[in-house]
Chains A and B, each alone.
Chain A
């Protein structure tokens, strides 16, 4: 496999998905997908060559290896023979009910239950879209260091999007929990609960007034603000961006970069969470990495290539969307550790602010640390009391600055499932946090 290369790797993937969508009260689409293929990576003198194929025969893989090798400007050199040793990795948890063992009819039945529950919330609910999705992803990695590792990753997600109509026009509400689990997902989540959350979110916006503009104290409810830490600091702690001088956290290990209340962890082993896996997509066992401890930057996240350059071990953060993509440094389950304060007391101690219950996606410029993220459910806090709902706002700030302005951290905790995009590749991640307060953030509302 290795022809004068420093490192060579083959990554095989077999992925099966089932998706069912209900819209306008009808099951509109039941669909099944299958993706099978392998990618070959060859690294030589700092240059990575990559090729992939759907032809998994020996000749197919050899052709891909040749292409990757040529891409890495390899050539000449002797063949290296490597003995492969099967690596054992801890499974974060076991999967109880494989999605393939559950009939399509049972999956389809969940959709109608969610539709009924969302519409039962109010006559103002005009449209409901419900999506069920499961994925089984079997991967195998072998490399020239002698590693041979496999994983069988099962994920299940259920999403409800409700639209309510009122005097302020159309408003949407969304709830989309997911886990690295099988059909047992529905032992702990019911379609009705998910649907009611989405419907209530849309309804609350109908009566909401436009959010104010300017600087405010912002209290983030547990789970809701994980995306802030994912965007505002997680991306800046990815070793590939640090190495390119594209991170505000470059050269700051050992320094105080956040309020002492902040301990930030990325943990691929967080059982059943959306970003969990036994191994990453380079075969490195997942692990728990402390990134910021009591406000001090302790380490970045690493993949194999970046770690080899520094002569250190990968932190298990080398991930890829499919066999068609090169792995890069990615987060898994990223969260801020709980503190000691009573979450309700944090609200009581906030004279004037914004209480965010749900946030949409966000975006960060890792080189400057500037980020934005959308608010999907929020309320005003007046004299320590949650008052009326507001809508149509985006929060904007700077990562390091925001981390330093966290002045209260609650004792509760929750996580949120999402898809993280980087360089066009999407991977499942979760983000989590206790209820906490940022003393000052810019709120970009539409109120005049």
Chain B
């Protein structure tokens, strides 16, 4: 840890932890984030918002009962009142023998990964420089293709976030990270047709951002759909764009959470050691990988993060755990507590990735005579369930015939079930790429899904 960095947050968290009375366990989780958001439209800045937010979340445990309270400020008086409120709330919790904060035993045995996730450079960029990036991505999107008639939105955003967690059992942790992104949404088509497509670029600092690539992707995704029609209902193989695979992986992450499993909310309950996926499928959560956008040295309870294999060559190996779920399960925390200051820790993946295969994306598309290439899906949360495994989402994309893009399609749903899709994986591309959203993307071929249309 760099000397002096995070002292103020750590001091606030230590103050909370030190207020523990005899027989109490107390934890303070303190976060501060500085954020900028710039929206441009028609070559002009539409809005520029910049602000710093901070807050504290307090857990108090008394005789196995847990109380929680939070406040969106670090004002010492309000922080003290928040501790009292959490203590008061503890009286209403049911006693639970497994309840408890992370102890020294939970944080030992695993090295805290040494990650550089903070770029001072980002903090020194003047607002004008950020405005220029947003204007540049808008202009580049318009320029990218003659069929792009407008840019629905072009945005720059960044954050610099620091968190500290300290508890009365002696656990202390601090982490910080920066990030920024550019986003553009292209409108393509003439008077009687509109198609949209987005592109983005993200990194830890502005020099990681690629304006042209974000613009090209937005234009390409919108123009690719021009002339799209609703096809007839049929069953067919489906190729997922890496962005789509990322969203599906994130959904699987919810079912691989130890909390979901012990509370009966996962399709993977009781299936450890079984073949739940095709043998080409290996899924690992690895927040110690610095390139992942969700990389972090410690979790929301101050426990070091680590590489956790979940599905290996198709076989379900284990689940993600925080301190509480691990105690219930009789295992050890995997450092997977996720939270903001406004909620007690849950369990979640930070950097979920499917191990890449050997085929290029082009070879994946060529692996079957005909398939639907899905470039975006909608309604992921209303149409899928990590509990039942049901999967039915809206889709846009292009038919692939003999390995080449053919006619574009719209207004369809694609459906199957998540367990079946995992078993139906035919090929994993070699193009694994980290994406924002807690998971990596990769081109994926699924043998059989139902496409519902006309």
Contacts and interface: CB of A to CB of B under 8 A. Distances in A.
Contact of A29 (B44, B68, B150, B385): B68
A163 B267 CA distance: 12
B355 interface: no
A446 B299 CA distance: 38
B450 A442 contact: no
B72 A34 contact: yes
A31 B68 contact: yes
Interface of A: 20, 23-24, 26-37, 39, 46-54, 67, 70-73, 104-105, 108, 126-127, 129, 163, 165, 168-172, 205, 213-215, 244-246, 248, 324, 326, 359-363, 365, 367-368, 370-374, 391-394, 396-398, 442-448
Contacts of A72: 48
Interface string B149-193: 110110000000000000000000000000000000001000000
Interface in B249-272: 263-265, 267, 269
A372 B396 CA distance: 12
Interface in B59-114: 66-73, 75, 78, 82, 85-86, 88-90, 92-94, 96
Interface stretch (B200-208, B304-312, B408-416, B427-435): B408-416
A248 B382 contact: no
9 contacts: A31-B69, A32-B82, A33-B342, A324-B51, A372-B393, A374-B379, A391-B390, A392-B391, A444-B383
A30 B452 contact: no
Contact of A27 (B94, B196, B385): B94
Contacts of B69: 31-33
A444 B382 contact: no
B49 interface: yes
A238 to B, nearest CB: 13
For the complex of A and B, the 3 pairs showing the least CB-CB separation, nearest first, are A444-B413, A374-B382, A372-B394
Given A51-B49, A127-B263, 12 more contacts: A28-B66, A30-B89, A35-B71, A54-B54, A172-B388, A213-B450, A245-B187, A363-B378, A393-B415, A445-B415, A446-B391, A446-B392
Given A47-B46, A368-B194, A172 B382 contact: no
B72 to A, nearest CB: 4
A360 B452 contact: no
A367 B198 CA distance: 13
A245 B186 CA distance: 11
Interface string B382-410: 11010111111110100000000000001
A214 B51 contact: no
A70 B414 CA distance: 48
Contact of B94 (A28, A367, A393): A28
A118 to B, nearest CB: 13
Interface in B35-66: 41, 44-51, 53-54, 66
Given A27-B92, A245-B187, A367-B187, A446 B416 contact: yes
Contacts of B194: 248, 367-368
A71 B127 contact: yes
Interface of B: 41, 44-51, 53-54, 66-73, 75, 78, 82, 85-86, 88-90, 92-94, 96, 127, 149-150, 152-153, 187, 194-196, 230, 233, 235, 263-265, 267, 269, 342-344, 378-379, 381-383, 385, 387-394, 396, 410-417, 450, 452-454
Contacts of A36: 72-73, 78
B94 A26 contact: yes
Nearest to B385: A172
A371 B73 CA distance: 39
Contact of B452 (A73, A126, A127, A443): A443
B49 A50 contact: yes
Contact of A362 (B88, B235, B382, B385): B382
Given A26-B96, A215-B454, A363 B394 contact: yes
Contacts, number: 257
B235 A47 contact: no
A168 B96 CA distance: 32
A40 B412 CA distance: 44
Given A48-B46, A446-B415, A448-B450, A372 B379 contact: yes
Contacts of A165: 264
A396 B411 contact: yes
A29 B46 contact: no
Contact of B45 (A47, A393, A398): A47
B412 A442 contact: yes
Given A28-B93, A372-B379, A446 B450 contact: yes
Given A172-B388, A244-B152, A392-B388, A54 B413 contact: no
A35 B344 CA distance: 17
B55 to A, nearest CB: 8
A123 to B, nearest CB: 14
A327 B229 CA distance: 37
Contacts of B344: 29, 31
Given A48-B46, A51-B51, A370 B410 contact: yes
Nearest to A24: B263
A365 B326 CA distance: 41
Contacts of A51: 49-51
> Which of A53, A71, A205 is most buried by chain B, counting CB atoms within 10 A of its CB?
A71
B436 to A, nearest CB: 13
A326 B230 CA distance: 38
B107 to A, nearest CB: 24
A84 to B, nearest CB: 24
A36 B48 CA distance: 22
A70 B51 CA distance: 13
A191 B263 CA distance: 21
Nearest to B99: A28
Nearest to A25: B94
Contacts of A394: 379, 382-383, 392-394, 413, 415
B150 A245 contact: yes
Contact of A32 (B50, B85, B233): B85
Contacts of A363: 378-379, 382, 394
Contacts of A163: 264-265, 387
Nearest to A53: B51
Contacts of B47: 47-50, 326
Contacts of A33: 69-72, 342
B452 A445 contact: yes
A127 B53 CA distance: 37
B53 A34 contact: no
Nearest to B128: A73
Contacts of B195: 368
Nearest to B49: A50
A71 B50 contact: yes
> Which of A108, A248, A368, A396 is most buried by chain B, counting CB atoms within 10 A of its CB?
A396
Contacts of A49: 47-49
A372 B452 contact: no
B92 A20 contact: yes
Given A245-B187, A442-B412, A169 B265 contact: no
Contacts of B48: 47-50, 71-72
B152 A246 contact: yes
Contacts of A205: 388
A46 B415 contact: no
Contacts of A50: 47-51
Nearest to B152: A246
A30 B68 contact: yes
Nearest to A36: B73
A282 to B, nearest CB: 14
A446 B66 CA distance: 42
A33 B78 CA distance: 11
Nearest to B74: A54
Contacts of B67: 30-31
> Which of B66, B196, B382 is most buried by chain A, counting CB atoms within 10 A of its CB?
B382
